[in-house]
Every structure is written in structure tokens, then in C-alpha cells.
Structure 1
């Protein structure tokens, strides 16, 4: 566990962001096996913990030599690294969330209850929009509930450190409850008696933010009582038929129109389509760098659709059953 640098001191400044992602990387690494074990949605491929750890670790590593007062600029570096190295549905969504936080906090040098609320609201909009077919009972629901709670709480608070403490603590409490509710929101989770793996991963990320900003430790009892989360529970994703198909991920430079065309073709070819802009390359020409994710039965269909509109970079093709590169 990464110990906070200033125990008990509330700081919403940039150094807390570096500590947040470093702490989150450690936390996700510690919990990756159990996150993999309960990963059954959207496909039971048992890699959510691994993907989240890899993605957040890339974000944290990108900040090691960075020094910004602007929270948005600082987070933008982390978000770009996360997006370019995003793995799986969960990793890609976390990268989208980091990018949205960066956009909202541009020009902000200190986190407050109010700026946190605005950032979480933006993250919710961006994350839901990134998926072609967003589903409740997932990381999205946890993010949505969290943002709603913080928005409501922040409306009655001032911009003090104590108010930020209240908002962060309520944020984590809301996330815990939202994670518990995922079990009843998705039939696959209810049948397996587990909560959503991606939702738990987001909860760990949010608790790491709370700990880093408040100068506190991670909550050791955060996940107590979550369905399927005891270490003696089985690896749920190993029950049932093997997953067939491929996960295709890449980065690509496209205009907004070409990106819409690619999303349409990928929706036809497979499912679990996620597309989000990494950064703006040419605002006037509406040219952006995108991170693309899709599950397909035939990887050649996805590759053909990608090749039709541009050149794929950071291309990763994995067998959903074995996780080996295809």
C-alpha cells in the first residue's frame, strides 16, 4: 500500500493527483485476481482486474516526470497515456473517465467539492456516450450514482477543505452502495451472485482518490460483504462455456465523420464497441485521435472496417478465451 505523504491534511493540489494514480495502481494490483474472478460481463473472460491495473499503471507512470499546477493539464498527460495503453472494456472506460476529468479541471489549480462535482458529471456524460450500447449495472451505473451524490452534496457546501472531505467521503459511500446494486441490475450478475467487476474497480479508484486528497489510508473494509468477493469464492468466469471471439483495440486518427462511420461498421461486426477521442489533432478540420475497442467473432471484419477509414496504431488483438495475442 502507498502511504499518503501528509497524513490528515486535505490537499486538492496537483501532487495529490500523482499520489492518487500511484495509490490506485497499487490497490488495483492487490485486488486484480479477485476482480478477474468475478468478471462475467459483458463477457466472462476474466481479465478486468488485469486490464484496469495495466491501464491505470500507464497513467501513473506518465506523471512521474510531470509537474503542473493546473489539475487539468496534469490529468491530461495521465489520460492520454491511459487511453493509448487502454486494455479491455474496463480499462478503456477508465481512460475515458480520466480524459473527461482532465477536460473539466482544465485551468483549475485546486480541487473543491464543486469542481469535483462538475468533473464527475462530465465523466458520466463522456463514459455513457463512449459506448454504442451502454448498460446499467456496470461501471457506468456506479459512476452515475457517484456523480449524482456529489452534485447534490456539493450544492450545499462551500469551497473549503472540510467541504471537499465531506464530498469525497460521500462519493465513496455512494459508490459502495451503487456497486452492491449492480448485482440486481444485471441478470448475469444476479444468476452468478456477484457484483460487477468493473464497478468494483472504479470503487477502488475512487477510494484511492479520497485517500490521496485527504492524506489518509485506503479503507481496508471497503469491499467487505460484496457478493462474490471473498477470497474463497470461486472464479465465476471459469463456469460455463468458453468465450469465443476476439477483442480488437487500436488508436487511430480520424475525422468526426470517419469516426462515426467506423463506429457504425464495428457495431455491425461485433459488440462492446467503445470509441472515444484521445485528443484533438486539428480542431478546424475536426480531426481527432481515437481509441477503439470492439469484441468480434471474426477479427478480419473489424480490421477491414478500421483499414477502410485509416491506419491503426497500438493495435492489440486478443483471443477472448485465452487472452493470447491473435
Structure 2
């Protein structure tokens, strides 16, 4: 469906988070793959993605709370506060922590008390300025040629922009993109490698999503995701993480990354900054109002945590050993059972399908309507499966990047992971049907991937609002028939729309039809479709499952 321009309101914040998350998901692997500074741990793209994922989840929770209470939709202040808080508590790595502070700086302006908020465009200008300044203040030793330079350039570029939020966002994006291309000339380690800053590249992605939200048009990025044209040559500059720390002498550096949330007052945090600055580098402390996110690279991880204990109450402590790439959470140490060789972890849209998948031996993560699982839930499911090898089935095209981030995290914990790009639960059913744990891992993955790929999928759902679709303009309440992710049929009756969708799918052939009925499906729809198949398509079998509360009224698979 086409993206339309939006005013700077709560819905715009919601859309911005969603678009930024998808864009970072697309850029994540490339950014991770060439992460070399200050530590070559290959996680900058993943950290940015997980930070925005937490921000987006917090905004969605605010909307869900208002909808459950039957109240008016959230205000701009509600949404930006939730975005900033979600980013703060979910910030990962140096780049993610700085991004959280950028969003917090914007929220401080946009969530000002009613009656004091400047006109929208001017408010966005001031928000971008505050974001850049507050991020720079949060870094113990700011370095030019990093995300801080890109953020400052974005704020500088909006001074002469038209008095329109879309124009301000586009000016910020263009200023950030130009600054990103200039980062190799500002930081020697980037110039030697012939690369640009990855944290800055991530910020350009986030600003591009803001442009698309406010104008309805996605700005093009020369060179593709994670790349920029070299400002003084014809080559392509790849992205490298540009974290704000002085390069370690002699090519060495601290052995651990320590991150934790801290409940403490301002005075205690000021003392904490001084102590941690003496222990290591890459120190970033963001937050306020009693809640802070602390990030530092040190050799003595225990001392960094003890400093937090002295300052207040640290929790969600995460310690990563750079050499081994292992992440440890404080408090772990429960007895471990012997792992199985292989398991399947699947995201399913309803309780009924969860039972079906579990009967087939899969570990499931429930994706309720409007509440997609976060990557952390998927990582926990992988741990629950307790297997040396795991096959992941996202069963939703929009979850591909979330599941990929979870897979990357699971690999750092020593699990061999394969992601099969299933876009619907019916493709997951087909993959699970040919799963054989006794086979070699690669052979099993190939067989499951082939089965999923040979299954066309469709769903029947009710439109929530007026939208532009591939089949024309739909109105709220229309019945939509979507084939392979695109709206193909707009109707007024569930059964008739489902029949049209099924006929179109079977026109290309098929041997098996799978129907998964949601709770809202008419009682007669399955019988009608089964009769239709028997009467019109010889040698095609039909199987029906009850999916429960699954979002779409009906899922259809044709193998």
C-alpha cells in the first residue's frame, strides 16, 4: 500500500518508527559485516536495529493502551515520550545508546507542555538541534567523523529550510548524507580504510524514514544501503562503525563491553561518569529523570558494574567479551540440561496454529494481531528449544529482519541457525511437514526451504482504514483478498472473496489446499471452499485447521 504524507503528530511518530525499523533491518547485515572500529565485533547494525525495535514497541504499546481504554488516540507528546523511553531501555552498543539520546533530545522539545510547543516546522528544527547537542553532551570524549558529526550537520542544515515539516526533514537528511560522505576526511582510521562511519550511516537511514513519513516519498540513497559515493574518487565507500572513542593505542583495547540500566540521581551519575572514564573508553551515559543507560568498554567488567552499584541500582546488566563474542547476563548460572541436536522455532499468528506446530515438535512464539514479537522473545525461544542447531520460521514477511537479528544473537551464543524466509504460517506448515531432524542440517534446511517456496499463500482480512492497494482504493470494512502479500481482490463478502482468491491461486495449478480459519471466519466458509475444490479441481486435496485468534479471517496455502 502506498505511503501518504502525514502531519507531525502521534501517528507520524508511529509510522516513523515502523519505517526506520524496516530500513535498518535491510541495512543491518552490511553494517555488521564491516564493523571494524573501535572494536571489530560486527554488531553496530544489529544494535541500531534492536534500539529502534524497542522504541517502536513502546510506541505501539501506547496506542494499544489507548485503544483498549476506548480513549482518543495518543498525543504527539505521548508518542515521542514513549519512543524515547523505549529507545533508552532497549539501547544496545555505543551507536544504539547515542541514537537513544538523539531521540530523547527530540522528545524534550516535541513533548513540551501544551501551549509552549512552537509551530510544527520550527519545533522540528529545534528538536533536531536539541538532539545533536544532547548526544554530544552524553559522550565522554566526542570525536569528529562519527555519528555526532552527522547529527550536528543535520541540525545545521535545517536553518534555511521552508516552513514545512517535510521540507525540514528533507533538509536534515541531505545535510546528514553530505556529512556522512565527509567522515573519512575527519577521522584517520576511516580514511585509512576508505570507509564512512556506520553510526552516521544508521542515522541517515533513520532520517530517510522521517522524510518518507512526512512527505510520502522515500529519498534515494546513492550506492544503496550502507554505502556512499567516495567524495574524492570513483570508488564505493562501505560502512564501518564510527563509535565515539579514541582509537586504542597499539591496536589493542579493553576486553569487555558493559551496558546496564541505572536508577540514580543526577549527582550520583556525575560521579559515575568520572569513575568509568578512568576505567575504560567509549563511555556514553544517556537518560535522565532518574533512569539512565550506561555504556563503556573496560578491561575490568566487575569494577564497571560495582561503580553502578555505588551510584544507584543497576539492572539489565549485559557484559560482552570482545574476543569470544559471548554475552553474559548477570544472575545467569542455572543448571543446564543436555541440548538436543536440532529444533524448529516458529512464529505463529494464533493459539490454534501454535498447538499444531507444537504437536509437530516446534517451539513457538505467538504473534498476536497488532503485537509482533520482538527479537528478544525469539532469542528466548531459541534458548528454550535448547538445541545445537535451530531452524527459524518467521512466517511473516514483515518479521524477516526481526528474526534475522535474533538469529545473529543466537549465533553469538554458539547455536547454528538457519533462517527460512517463510512469509505465511501455511508456508511454515509445508516446511515443517518435510522436516527430518535425522538428516544433515544443510539437507534439512534445503528441503524445508523448497517446500515453503513451492507453497503460494494468501489471506482474507477486513480493511481497517481507507488505503491505496494494487487492486484499487479500499474502504474501511471492505474484505481484502491478498495473494503473496499483495491485495488482489476487494469485496464485501468473506466467502465470495475467499472463493475468488482460491480460484486465482488454483488457476496456476496445485495439489494441496490448506485452509486456516480464524475465530471470525463464517462457519460455512470452509465447507463452501472444500466443495468448490472438489467440484472444480480434480485430484486436489484440502485440509482445514482452526487457527484461533490469528488476525486474518482466513489463511490459504496452495502447494
Q: Could you state the TM-score of these two structures normalised by the residue count of structure 1?
A: 0.85
Deviation at 1:220, TM superposition (A): 5.3
Contact 1:4 1:216 in 2 (8 A): no
Distance 1:233 1:5, change over 3 A: closer
- Matches for 1:249-268 after TM superposition, within 5 Å: 249-268=259-278
- Matches for 1:16-95 after TM superposition, within 5 Å: 16-67=12-63, 69-95=74-100
Question: The residue matched to 1:39 in structure 2 has which SS?
Answer: coil
- CA RMSD after TM alignment: 2.7
Between structures 1 and 2, the one with greater strand share = 2
Deviation at 1:69, TM superposition (A): 4.7
Residues 62-115 of structure 1 show CA distances to partners (whole Å, capped at 9, x for unaligned) of 111324553232111111111111100000011111111111101478973211
Higher normalized contact order (CA 8 Å, seq sep 6+, divided by chain length)? 1
Q: Please say which of residues 82-91 and 9-18 is displaced more in the overlay.
A: 9-18
Question: The residue matched to 2:62 in structure 1 has which SS?
Answer: coil
1:105 aligns with 2:115: no
2:311 aligned partner: 309
1:153 aligns with 2:160: yes
Distance 1:245 1:99, change over 3 A: same
1:206 aligned partner: 207
1:284 aligned partner: none
Question: The residue matched to 2:326 in structure 1 has which SS?
Answer: coil
Question: The residue matched to 2:61 in structure 1 has which SS?
Answer: coil
> In structure 2, how many angstroms separate the alpha carbons of the residues matched to 1:95 and 1:112?
22
> In structure 1, how many angstroms separate the alpha carbons of the residues matched to 2:188 and 2:176?
20
> In structure 1, how many angstroms separate the alpha carbons of the residues matched to 2:223 and 2:206?
12
Deviation at 1:323, TM superposition (A): 3.0
User: Deviation above 4 Å: which 4+ runs of structure 1?
Assistant: 107-111, 232-237, 240-244
Residues 212-268 of structure 1 show CA distances to partners (whole Å, capped at 9, x for unaligned) of 1112235354745445xxxx998978xx97865111111111121111111111001
Distance 1:233 1:206, change over 3 A: closer
Q: Please say which of residues 103-112 and 182-191 is displaced more in the overlay.
A: 103-112
Question: The residue matched to 1:312 in structure 2 has which SS?
Answer: strand
Unaligned runs of 5+ in 2: 64-72, 231-235, 242-249, 329-559
Q: Please say which of residues 212-221 and 288-297 is displaced more in the overlay.
A: 212-221
Contact 1:45 1:243 in 2 (8 A): no
Residues 169-227 of structure 1 show CA distances to partners (whole Å, capped at 9, x for unaligned) of 22111111000011111111011110000000000000001001112235354745445
Between structures 1 and 2, the one with greater helix share = 1
2:67 aligned partner: none
Distance 1:220 1:143, change over 3 A: closer
Given candidates 127, 137, 152, the residue that maps to 1:119 is 127
Question: The residue matched to 1:305 in structure 2 has which SS?
Answer: helix
> Greater CA radius of gyration, 1 or 2?
2
Q: Could you state the TM-score of these two structures normalised by the residue count of structure 2?
A: 0.51
* Number of corresponding residues: 303
> In structure 2, how many angstroms separate the alpha carbons of the residues matched to 1:302 and 1:52?
23
